[in-house]
Amino acid sequence: MKGKDIKCSFCGKDKSETQVLIAGISGHICDQCIVQAQGIVGQETADKLRNSIAHSLTIFKPGEIKKFLDAYVIGQEHAKKVISVAVYNHYKRLTYTYKNKYDVEIEKSNIIMVGETGTGKTLLARTIARMLNVPFCIADATVLTEAGYVGEDVESLLTRLLQAADYDVPSAERGIVYIDEIDKIARKSDNPSITRDVSGEGVQQALLKLLEGSVINVPPHGGRKHPEQKMIAINTQNILFICGGAFEGIDKKIARRLQTRVVGYNTSKEARSVDRENLLQYITPQDLKSFGLIPELIGRLPLITFLQPLDKAALRSILTEPKNALLRQYEKLFEMEGIKLRFEKEVLDYIVDKAMEFRLGARGLRSICEAIMLDAMFESPSQKGIKELSVTLDYAKEKVEKSNIAQLRVA
């Protein structure tokens, strides 16, 4: 075949009408057909990826999610319902988005959880991670600083999510991130200062683009230690963010706000309707703003839920009822040594009373149990012939009084 007679086997253009004409075994293809073919292949690949992701998602109904949470977390019915619905809608949103790319766009609803220490915020997040079919990571907001200062950038949150997804970007883009201790990045002061609030308002400003949804360039191995590394682009539009914090002292701001609404002769009636033992149930975005979160950040966390303070009944249940109950953990530890561990009923009541006294929530239960069981766990592995160990009330009181935890008193 002469050069002037060579044509593209796909579009029929002569060689003179093309910039490049690539020869094959029995035909030719021009540069324009190559570009069109590349676009077709890219679109088909993207469609197959969307369909595979949509089909790989196992959608758990809210009731199923809450039932799973009930097996590990005692109480907190309102928080469980909020998280169950949010996760369910997150699954539905992902499936809908992938199957209906050009239809109505459903926006995500990020969550913020407010509760005292030891009430189960992090436990809820960890328990949710057990049943999810999406990448999940837990990050701490206390280490974050504004870009350019000592600490971690906000992009490190996505680095952890990327690691949880084994560096699979499409999988990471449908994941869930739990940001703990979100209250620690509250604005330090409303007064203007010549110094920057690099670990407070500066971090909140940097989080805005992550929470709302945008394409973020993420360093796969951390930002500052490897500045030469190639960035990975992650779209956060389909990533669900759950934030949690103790917000110590916010109850005073809530009480102050509620009192301002009490005017005139209705004072006693309205005051009686307010539960002074659990003011967190009345929390509003206004209280978060007064605490130090900027309005832009609050607007990107539309779902606000609270965790109830734990009473004696809840603490008693935490000791024995969940699948990973505290006493079951100690029983399993001693079972590994061939020893059957047993706690008298009076000991459990004593542990709960001490935990209420120290006001440390569920974490206080473990501190007290560690103080009681320390000597037994130290001595039992070296002693032979012990088949059973019974913890009595006198033994528990003796160990607690001799430990450092006995010096802990709440002012």
Model pLDDT for residues 216-227, shown as the tens digit of each residue:
888 877 655 556
pLDDT for the residue 351: 92
Whether residue 242 is predicted with pLDDT greater than 80 in this model: the reply is yes
Instruction: Dump pLDDT digits (tens) for 250-284.
Output: 988 888 888 754 444 545 455 557 777 788 889 99
175-179, 231-235, 356-360: which range is least confident on average? 356-360
Q: Cα–Cα distance between 147 and 79 in angstroms, integer?
A: 33
Amino acid, single-letter form, for residue 114: V
Q: Are residues 204 and 347 in the same domain?
A: no
What is the residue-wise DSSP string for 260-273? Answer: HT--GGGHHHHHHT
Which residue among 282, 306, 330 closes a domain?
306
Q: Which residues, at least 6 apart from 176, have a Cβ–Cβ distance to it below 8 Å? A: 87, 90, 128, 129, 132, 134, 135, 136, 239, 240, 241, 242
Domain of residue 33: give its range.
Answer: 3-51
Q: Is pLDDT at 359 greater than 90 in this prediction?
A: no
Mean pLDDT of the region 213-217: 86
- CATH code for the domain in which residue 362 is found: 1.10.8.60
Are residues 108 and 69 both part of a single domain? yes
Q: Which of 17-31, 144-158, 228-242, 296-310 has the lowest mean pLDDT?
A: 144-158
Specify whether 194 is located in the same domain as 219. Answer: yes
pLDDT tens digits, residue range 328-337? 999 999 999 8
Say whether both 176 and 294 belong to one domain: yes
Using pLDDT thresholds of 50, 70 and 90, give the confidence band for residue 98. Answer: low
Lowest mean pLDDT across 196-205, 282-291, 306-315:
196-205
Looking at the structure of the chain, the number of domains it has is 3
Residue 1's pLDDT is: 46
pLDDT at 411: 36
- Asked if 401 and 294 sit in the same domain, the reply is no
Tell whether 47 and 195 lie within a shared domain: no
The predicted structure's pLDDT at residue 348: 93
- For residues 221 and 359, state if they share a domain: no
Q: Which residues contact 161 (CB under 8 A, 6 or more apart)?
A: 135, 137, 172, 175, 177, 234, 239
Burial environment of residue 331 by CB neighbours within 10 A (0 to 12, 13 to 18, 19 or more): middle
Q: Is it the case that residue 347 has pLDDT exceeding 60?
A: yes
Percentage of the chain modeled with pLDDT above 90:
25
The pLDDT, as a whole number, for residue 341 is 92
Residues 109 and 201 in one domain: yes
- Name, of 133-137, 319-323, 403-407, the range with top average pLDDT: 319-323
Residue pair 234/218 in contact by the 8 Å Cβ criterion: yes
339 and 263 inside one domain: no
Q: What is the largest CA-CA distance in the chain?
A: 105
Lowest mean pLDDT among 93-97, 181-185, 235-239: 93-97
Q: Are 181 and 142 in contact (CB under 8 A)?
A: yes
Mean pLDDT of 220-237: 73
In whole angstroms, give the CA distance from residue 14 to residue 293: 66
23 with 119, same domain? no
Averaged pLDDT, 235-242: 90
pLDDT given at position 53? 52
For residue 170, the model assigns a pLDDT of: 86
The answer on 229 and 341 residing in a single domain is no
- Give residue 331's pLDDT: 92
The last residue of a domain, from among 276, 306, 336 = 306
Domain C-terminal end among 273, 288, 306: 306
Q: How high does pLDDT run on average in the chain?
A: 82
Identify the CATH number of the domain in which residue 257 sits: 3.40.50.300
User: What three-state secondary structure class fits 161?
Assistant: helix
Q: Are residues 154 and 258 in the same domain?
A: yes
- Kindly report which listed range (52-61, 136-145, 399-408) carries the lowest average pLDDT score: 52-61
pLDDT, average across residues 156-185: 89
